[in-house]
Amino acid sequence: MKVALICLAAIVHREASRFISQRGRFLAAIVRPLVWLIVFAAGFRAALGLSIQPPYQTYITYEVYIVPGLCGMIQLYSGMQSSLSLVYDREMGSMRLLLTSPIPRWWLLFCKLFASTAISIFQVYTFLAIAALTGIDFSFSAYDAILPA
């Protein structure tokens, strides 16, 4: 059990340090939805939005309406980037290091997926924090509720 956790921590640390060293990737991942949120939403807000209908009690503006979709977009691109990092690992040979370690392969796969998910969630929260700074904020319970999602 301890061995499995050491392995998990090492893989998460490696993915995180790779992510930090690729600042361009992080920046692109955040800028893409922000452009949509700030530039496009400003244009569309007059024309689009969600009218008052259950379960909403008030009019939902377009920029609030689009936020969950943008979160999904961040996760989609982040997932694609992580898949590419697997290809990179395979080409560079570091996949062999993983495969020749005595840890079961299903656990190694879980570690990789866990690390990728953690990074994409971090990106989503960064995006939400910037969105909050521009005035599009939500209640604390809403931030809490998107974590398992």
Q: Which listed residue (24, 54, 55, 102) binds other proteins by CB under 8 A?
A: 102
Distance CA 25, CA 6 (A): 27
Q: Which listed residue (10, 28, 48, 149) binds other proteins by CB under 8 A?
A: 10
Q: Which listed residue (103, 118, 136, 146) binds other proteins by CB under 8 A?
A: 103
Interface with other proteins, residue 23, by CB under 8 A: no
Residue 119 CB, nearest approach to other proteins (Å): 17
Nearer to other proteins, 51 or 91 (CB): 91
Question: How many other CB atoms are found less than 10 A from the CB of residue 81?
Answer: 19
Residue 27 CB, nearest approach to other proteins (Å): 18
CA 22 to chain centre: 15
CA distance between the termini of the chain: 27
Interface with other proteins, residue 101, by CB under 8 A: yes
Residue position matching structure tokens 């299903």: 106
Distance CA 16, CA 108 (A): 16
What letter does residue 102 receive in the DSSP assignment? S
Nearer to other proteins, 89 or 137 (CB): 89
Strands (E), the chain: 49-50, 60-61
Q: Is 131 exposed, middle or buried (0-12, 13-18, 19+ CB in 10 A)?
A: buried
* Contacts with other proteins, 42-81, as mask; x by CB under 8 A: ----------------------------------------
Site of interaction with other proteins (CB under 8 A): 2-4, 6-7, 9-10, 13-14, 17, 21, 92-104
